[in-house]
Amino acid sequence: MRSFRWTMRLSRLQAWIVVCTAMVVTIFADWATGPMVSMTIGYLFVDILAAWALRERAGIIVVLFSIGLGSTLNGFGAIPAADLHALSASVVIWNTVTRVAGAVMIVLMVATLRHTIDGELWRASTDYLTRSLNGGAFRSQLERVAQIGRRRGSTLLLLYMDLDGFKAVNDRHGHAAGDLVLRRFADEARARMRPDDLFARLGGDEFCAFLAIERGVPPEQVAESLHARLSEALRSTGHAVTCSMGAVVIDAGAAGDTERMIGLADEAMLEVKRNGKNAIRIAFDEPGTVRRAA
């Protein structure tokens, strides 16, 4: 299971590096052992790895390459202990075609399995309406982003957002209009996120984001800019919906209890709610430092 999880986390470049490395090792073993020792299992492993990590197209390319190269090293259509010169052209073609067909069928089954697993994982971790992370997936990935921040010496920024006036949209214009507001808000927020950032719908009209801010970039400025962009997106819906945002600036090296961090951001957001809504409060990860952003 650990091996499967590791391969599922590989980027496309990393997956190609692993596949090519496995292919080189298999080719060397095939060359070193000669045609009397079959390395079919080695080539098949590389084919399956390519299909699993890179999907069917790459898997088929690797199949064609591995069978072509293996046949070149050991004889096209050759059977161990058989006289290669006794094989007719039709037998050579048949043996090679069946190798390709068998490997391709395995590759397609493995790639289909990977697509199915990816789909189930996506459904388990994603809010269907907004295509954002759900609350469980958000919490499970907080430590990953914190680790990225620690490696880079970044500052962490946790945002808690609530939409003001959203219930009135549902009551007056129906849930379809409310769904449109949620999707527009989420689309704009995700467009402002980088690949390592997290954005989630916690439920109803509440959202969270977790970002690792590069050194030299004021996290307050990032939070204010995002609040302004999201406010513009809400205005574009034509409904009287605004955003109350609570932000917590966290030292990546001191990031600890994730629920406490979310609680601090929630408290900052509630402070906005109590003081007129449609604004942002920024807290630093110390008691008593909640303040209004400029």
Q: Which residues are marked as active site?
A: 205
Quote the tokens at residue 253.
């090296």
Angle at which helices 135-152 and 89-125 pack, to 10 degrees? 100
Sheet with 132-133, side-by-side order of all strands: 126-127, 132-133, 198-203, 206-213, 155-164, 242-251, 280-284, 291-292
Q: Are 27 and 69 in contact (CB under 8 A)?
A: yes
End-to-end CA distance of the chain: 49
53, containing H or E segment? helix 40-74
Query: What residues does 213 pair with on adjacent strands?
Result: 155
Quote the tokens at residue 202.
């916690």
The DSSP code sequence of 84-146 is: GGG--HHHHHHHHHHHHHHHHHHHHHHHHHHHHHHHHHHHHHEETTTTEE-HHHHHHHHHHHH
Separation between Cα atoms, residue 205 and residue 23, nearest integer Å: 50
